[in-house]
Structure 1
Amino acid sequence: MNPILGGITRLRAAEGSPEPTPFEHFLKASGNFLPSPQARWCTQKMKLAEMEKFVGDEPTISYVGIRGDEEREGYVSTKPNIQAIFPFRKNIWSLDVINQFLSPKNAEKVRSIYLQVCPDNLVDPILKVLDTPLTRDFYYSKKLNALLDIDVKVFNKAVYEYLKTTDLPVGQLDEFPLIDNDDVLVKDDIFSILEDSGVGVPAYYKPVEFEVDGRKGTYSRSRSGCYFCFYQQKIEWIWLYEQHPDLFKKAMEFEKDGYTWNQHESLSELIKPERVRQIKLDAIKKQEAKKKQGDGTLLGQLDDDEELMCANCFI
Structure 2
Amino acid sequence: MSNVRHLLGISGGKDSAALAIYLNKLYPNLEMQYYTCDTGRELQETYKLIDQLQIELNKDILQLDSIDLSNQNLESAFDYFLAQYGGLLPAQNMRWCTKKMKLDPFENWIGDVPTISYVGIRGDEDREGYISTKPNIQSIFPFRKNIWSEDVIKRVLDAKNEAQILEYYPKYLEGVKLEKAVKTFKKKLNFAFSKKQKVEALLNIDIKAFNKVVFDYLKTTELPVGQLDEFPLVENDEILVRNDIFQLIEESAVDLPGYYKPLDYEVDGEKGKYFRSRSGCFFCFYQQKIEWVWLLENHPKLFEKAKSYEKEGYSWIEGETLDDLAKPERVEAIKREHLKRKKRAYEKLYKSTDWQDAVLGEDNKRSTTSNASWLDELSDAEGDGCASCFI
Range of TM-score over shorter length: over 0.9
Residue 214 of structure 2 aligns to a residue whose secondary structure is helix
71, 77, 86: which is aligned to 1:22? 77
235, 241, 254: which is aligned to 2:290? 235
Q: Which residue pairs with 2:24 in the alignment? A: none
Q: Which residue pairs with 1:175 in the alignment? A: 230
Q: CA deviation at 1:5?
A: 4.2
Deviates more, 1:222-231 or 1:235-244: 222-231
Deviates more, 1:169-178 or 1:10-19: 10-19
Tell me the amino acid that sits aligned with residue 160 of structure 1: F
The one of the two structures with greater contact order (alpha-carbon pairs below 8 A, sep at least 6) is: 2
252, 256, 273: which is aligned to 1:201? 256
Q: Which residue pairs with 2:381 in the alignment? A: 305
1:212/1:280 contact within 8 Å kept = yes
C-alpha distance in 1, partners of 2:68/2:207? 44
3, 6, 9: which is aligned to 2:62? 9
- Answer yes or no: is 1:132 the counterpart of 2:187: yes
Tell me the amino acid that sits aligned with residue 390 of structure 2: F
C-alpha RMSD over aligned residues: 1.5
Mapping of 1:91-240 within 5 angstroms? 91-240=146-295
Render the CA deviation track for 1:142-187: whole Å, top value 9, x for unaligned.
1111111111111111111111111111111111111111111111
Residue 218 of structure 1 aligns to a residue whose secondary structure is strand
Render the CA deviation track for 1:174-218: whole Å, top value 9, x for unaligned.
111111111111111101111111313211000000111111000
Deviates more, 1:58-67 or 1:289-298: 289-298
Residue 78 of structure 1 aligns to a residue whose secondary structure is coil
C-alpha distance in 1, partners of 2:185/2:54? 46
Residue 66 of structure 1 aligns to a residue whose secondary structure is coil
Residue 283 of structure 2 aligns to a residue whose secondary structure is coil
> Percent of pairs identical after alignment?
51
1:72/1:311 contact within 8 Å kept = no
Deviates more, 1:280-289 or 1:96-105: 280-289
56, 66, 80: which is aligned to 2:111? 56
Using structure 2 for the length normalisation, give the TM-score: 0.78
Q: Which residue pairs with 1:69 in the alignment? A: 124
Residue 308 of structure 1 aligns to a residue whose secondary structure is coil
Residue 194 of structure 1 aligns to a residue whose secondary structure is helix
Q: CA deviation at 1:309?
A: 2.4
2:136/2:224 contact within 8 Å kept = yes
Return closer, same or farther for 1:6/1:212 CA change in 2, 3 Å cut-off: closer
